[in-house]
Amino acid sequence: MRNVLGRVGKTHRAAVAALVKTVFVQETQEAARQQWRSVADNLRERFNSVADLMDASEEDVLAYMAFPKEHWTQIHSTNPLKRLNKEIKRRTNVVGIFPNGKGVKRSIQWIDRSPNAIIRLVGALLLEQNDEWALARRYMSLESLARIVDNPVLSLPGVGN
């Protein structure tokens, strides 16, 4: 949506957004694809760059509709990613200095962002988040996931004692 609206003047953004949003309220993938093409064709005369963008991105944007309908909201939403990025930023900001083994300058203005230290910290955060999503906050149920995988026997990952 941001990419589309970035190619449209401010006065037309609300109308174009309303038109594009009609795609995402369709009940089936085929209906959404037909609506996508219809919207692109309607916009082609006035906003050719938007129509070209829509033609090129149809597969990517509507890919989530190949999954069961109860997964659509989780797949097309960026909220989990935003929450994860916010947590990474919160944790890295309090560290301030990432030592690299060569000594640490005492200036507050200077921050040594050693790749190894950052990788360790962010990696630990990602592992922690994965455990939370897998065990505490089931983002998608095992039953609904079993319908879309080749191996329907799913289980939770092992938890160390």
- Whether the per-residue pLDDT at 101 is higher than 50: the answer is no
Residue 103: the pLDDT is: 43
Q: How far apart are CA 12 and CA 8, in angstroms?
A: 6
- Whether the per-residue pLDDT at 34 is higher than 90: the answer is yes
For the chain, give the percent of residues with pLDDT over 90.
Answer: 39
Q: Where are the domains of the chain?
A: 2-66, 71-146
The answer to whether 67 touches 75, Cβ cutoff 8 Å, is yes
- Whether the per-residue pLDDT at 104 is higher than 80: the answer is no
The answer to whether 69 touches 76, Cβ cutoff 8 Å, is no
* pTM beyond 0.75, yes or no: no
Q: How far apart are CA 58 and CA 40, in angstroms?
A: 10
Q: For the residues 86-91, what does the mean pLDDT come to?
A: 88
* Average pLDDT over all residues of the chain: 80
DSSP helix/strand/coil, 21: helix
Residue 9: the pLDDT is: 93
